Structure 1
């Protein structure tokens, strides 16, 4: 029996994931609003806090984002002085991203808000289910697709 277009929407992995992602992103954005950061910006700053400096390409790979979108997301962070983006001294084609002291301070100021919304989600959804969800989503990244391959 063939599926109708109506049935397909309920089976689409991409739609289900994007709906959940928009829902959670809006929830985290709202929680982080007092810090002036959006969830994506917080994630970028948090990831940068573990690296001394990193190329845009490497950072994009770490957070599974294409370079162009990452560069767009870095612009307001650079304007606010939370990160610097400069040409690599060893490869002029590469751009190096560095977290500034102000960026680290903003990320640390946002941590309590993030922890609160994280705990609320885990309480509502279930801590074990949340752990399983993160593991399943990490597995998605190992499916062999190459969305940003050139």
Structure 2
């Protein structure tokens, strides 16, 4: 497709031309989905971001914070800000890594138990979202999101 506004577009290009700001639309959907999950997870005392961090460290840990940020597609400052309350509450622990200069995140027994209890609330949110949007829409959404993330990862590796 030409970037010159004076060049006419084919019918298929006009039909496939995005309308509106993709970032705004994604953020709108993300806010609504986050609110949906947060309402359910609040019953466990966690927010969606906290549950996600506990789950990732439980599944992947022990691991350095930078590796966790990379695996979650987060920047280091956002991760650091989101880790603070989990570390303060004793649900995660920052331990010495292979040497005195490195650190690794570990989930504590209390964090693992909280994540386990919160998982039923997360599951309820997941089931309710699938019902509200319909399984076919959720599957299609996952495919589109995975494709979009893969395109960014490919561009990052160039």
Name the CA shift for 1:80/1:48 in 2 (closer, same or farther; >3 Å). same
Q: 2:40 aligns with which of 31, 34, 37?
A: 31
**2:72 corresponding residue in structure 1:** 63
**1:99 corresponding residue in structure 2:** 107
Residue correspondence of structure 1 range 130-145 to structure 2 within 5 A: 130-143=138-151, 144-145=154-155
Residue 89 of structure 1 deviates from its aligned partner by 3.3
Extract unaligned runs of 5+ from structure 1. Answer: 3-9
Extract unaligned runs of 5+ from structure 2. Answer: 7-18
Once structures 1 and 2 are overlaid, which stretch shifts more, 136-145 or 60-69?
136-145
**1:7 corresponding residue in structure 2:** none
Query: What is the aligned length?
Result: 139
State the alpha-carbon separation in 2 of the partners of residues 53 and 125 from structure 1.
Answer: 36
**2:94 corresponding residue in structure 1:** 85
Q: Deviations over 1:14-46 (max 9, x none)?
A: 111111001111111111001111001101111
Residue 86 of structure 1 deviates from its aligned partner by 3.1
Of structures 1 and 2, the larger Rg is shown by 2
Q: Deviations over 1:54-104 (max 9, x none)?
A: 111111111111111101101100111100123423261x33110111111
Name the CA shift for 1:109/1:75 in 2 (closer, same or farther; >3 Å). same
State the alpha-carbon separation in 1 of the partners of residues 94 and 58 from structure 2.
Answer: 15
RMSD: 1.9
**1:41 corresponding residue in structure 2:** 50
Residue 134 of structure 1 deviates from its aligned partner by 1.5
